[in-house]
Chains A and B, each alone.
Chain A
Amino acid sequence: MSERVTHEELMRYLDNEVGPEERSRIETSVETSTELRRELAVYRAMKDDLRTMQLHEGGDNGSIWYAVNRHLARPLGWVLFVVGALVWAAYGVYVYFTSPSFLWQKLATGAVGVGILVLLASVIWERYRVWLTDPYRDIQK
């Protein structure tokens, strides 16, 4: 490497990040130094080949926006669902206890509700246990 041109200066020159004065000074040094010329030629050739490379970006698979938007909209959907479900549940409990229906009707309705909850909980629990013991759970599909 020439004493007058540092590696960093050579990089800035190669990448067109120098002012006119610095460019002129580096060019003078390059002209008088075979070593610098060779080094510059190697980096320039690498740069050219890297720049002419183009990566295949998967063709026209549509914008990623739809996937992003689905994710961004999800929290709002959950909030609305939970709030709505809570309101209906509260109303259901109120109707259940204040309704003049027969006791057997209330018990049957309560059994259906509790049964659905028990089934749901058991499915969730089963799926969780399978997931815990799945040896392939960390393997990406």
Chain B
Amino acid sequence: MGPEVERELIRKCKAGDSRFYEPLVRAYEQPGLRLALGMLGNLEDAKDALQHSFIKTFETMARFDLSRPFGPWFFQILRNQCRDQLRSRKARFRLEALDERLELRPADPETGPVRIRERAKAREILWEALEKIGDEHREILILKELQGFRYGEIAAILEIPEGTVASRLYHARRALKEALEEIGAVYP
């Protein structure tokens, strides 16, 4: 969806017409679900967070500044929703659920069965380590590695200066490395 089309849809939504919200929801639900799943670790809570975020986004649309991009604003709302859910007793990062959902990309270049098993095991260990490092470290790693956002986008979503992103990423990666060492994983 082009930025002009997106802006026009938002303008209509700001007027209160929810029919024009559908293309926006459909455009952002997959990346949104990836982010929520990465932060919450299970599909049920992730979908719950996503639904609440879309509703909250529409309800606060009147305050949205049309000169800003919609994506970071929505992901910011979603991230706050995930954090609220993690803080409440309703949800917590559930590794068990996440483990079952690990799968290899179809285009994985390493096709040997032993290598695939090794890689799958490495990913399981990584998730175990991700669970240990805490929400703040995990969220920035999810935004960077699973979502592939640039530093500017991450800064907008996390509401931090762009210069802080590299520092936060460094601490998150170092925490992940230490968590892996605690598990007994030699990396790389």
Residues of A at under 8 Å CB distance from B? 7-12, 15, 17, 41-47, 49-58, 63-65, 67-69, 71-73, 138, 140
B interface, over-half SS = helix
**Alpha-carbon separation in the docked complex, A56 to B18 (Å):** 29
Which residue on chain A has the smallest CB distance to residue B124? A53
Which residue on chain A has the smallest CB distance to residue B109? A52
Whether B170 contacts A72 by the Cβ 8 Å rule is no
Instruction: Specify which of B98, B123, B146, B170 is in contact with A8 (CB 8 Å cutoff).
Output: B170
Check if B93 is an interface residue, CB within 8 A of chain A: no
Instruction: Count B interface residues, CB 8 Å.
Output: 51
Q: Separation in Å of the A72 CB from the closest CB of chain B?
A: 4
Whether A11 contacts B122 by the Cβ 8 Å rule is no
Residues in B96-124 with C-beta less than 8 Å from chain A = 98, 100-105, 108, 119, 122-123
Q: Which 8 A-B pairs have the closest CB atoms?
A: A45-B188, A56-B101, A50-B145, A8-B166, A11-B166, A7-B170, A72-B18, A65-B25
Q: Separation in Å of the A83 CB from the closest CB of chain B?
A: 18
Whether A73 contacts B18 by the Cβ 8 Å rule is yes
In the complex, what residues of A have CB within 8 A of residue B100's CB?
56
A-facing mask of B46-73, CB < 8 A → 1, else 0?
0100110011001000000000000000
Which residue on chain A has the smallest CB distance to residue B101? A56
**Alpha-carbon separation in the docked complex, A95 to B119 (Å):** 78
Which residue on chain A has the smallest CB distance to residue B130? A50
Whether B123 contacts A55 by the Cβ 8 Å rule is no
Q: Separation in Å of the A65 CB from the closest CB of chain B?
A: 5
Whether A57 contacts B34 by the Cβ 8 Å rule is yes
In the complex, what residues of A have CB within 8 A of residue B187's CB?
42, 45-46
Residues in B6-39 with C-beta less than 8 Å from chain A = 18, 21-22, 25-26, 29-30, 33-34, 37-38
**Alpha-carbon separation in the docked complex, A53 to B127 (Å):** 10
Whether B188 contacts A41 by the Cβ 8 Å rule is yes
Residues in B113-141 with C-beta less than 8 Å from chain A = 119, 122-123, 126-127, 141
Q: Separation in Å of the B57 CB from the closest CB of chain A?
A: 9
Which residue on chain B has the smallest CB distance to residue A141? B44
Q: Separation in Å of the B11 CB from the closest CB of chain A?
A: 17
In the complex, what residues of B have CB within 8 A of residue A41's CB?
188
Whether A64 contacts B122 by the Cβ 8 Å rule is no
Whether A52 contacts B108 by the Cβ 8 Å rule is yes
Q: Separation in Å of the B156 CB from the closest CB of chain A?
A: 15
Whether B126 contacts A53 by the Cβ 8 Å rule is yes
Q: Separation in Å of the B107 CB from the closest CB of chain A?
A: 10
Instruction: Specify which of B29, B38, B103, B163 is in contact with A64 (CB 8 Å cutoff).
Output: B29
**Alpha-carbon separation in the docked complex, A140 to B89 (Å):** 10
